[in-house]
């Protein structure tokens, strides 16, 4: 997975191919010539949803924001609570 950050609206978008036509999903800005960043695994997020802080991955797979402490357990854990 590759990631590009739109210079126009600041939204990150994801794609499997660097060479595909790449349009920002939120503002339709052309991101074709914006450099890509590695995005990691598909359900990994690298920026906090709340404060744009950096998310650190714990050994149990939980992502924790280093700035505000927000915890993100991933998609699977939201489906079923045990
Ligand atoms: Zn945009
Ligand atoms: Zn945060």
Q: How far is the CA of 14 from the centre of ligand 1 (A)?
A: 12
How many domains is the chain partitioned into structurally? Answer: 2
Ligand 1 ion: Cβ-proximal residues, 5 Å cutoff: 6, 8-9, 11, 24, 26-27, 29
- pLDDT at position 48: 86
Starting from the CA of residue 66, give the closest ligand: 2
- 59 and 79 assigned to the same domain: yes
- 63 and 29 assigned to the same domain: no
- pLDDT at position 46: 78
Note down the domain range covering 30. 1-41
- 23 and 52 assigned to the same domain: no
- 47 and 73 assigned to the same domain: yes
Q: How far is the CA of 80 from the centre of ligand 1 (A)?
A: 34
- 61 and 76 assigned to the same domain: yes
CA-to-CA distance for 73 and 65, rounded, in angstroms?
12
Whole-prediction pTM? 0.46
Q: Tens-of-pLDDT digits for all 82 residues of the chain?
A: 788 999 999 999 988 777 778 999 999 999 988 888 876 554 556 788 899 888 888 888 888 998 999 998 876 555 555 5
- 14 and 48 assigned to the same domain: no
Query: Strand 55-57's sheet: what is its strand order?
Result: 55-57, 63-65, 71-72
Q: How far is the CA of 21 from the centre of ligand 2 (A)?
A: 32
- pLDDT at position 24: 93
């Amino acid at each position: 997975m590759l990631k590009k950050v739109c210079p126009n609206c600041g939204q990150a978008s994801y794609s499997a191919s660097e060479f595909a036509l790449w349009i920002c999903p939120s503002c339709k800005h052309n991101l074709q010539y914006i450099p890509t960043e590695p995005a990691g695994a598909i359900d990994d997020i690298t920026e906090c949803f709340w404060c744009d802080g950096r998310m650190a991955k714990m050994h149990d797979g939980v992502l924790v924001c280093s700035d505000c402490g927000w915890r993100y357990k991933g998609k699977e854990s939201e489906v079923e609570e045990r």
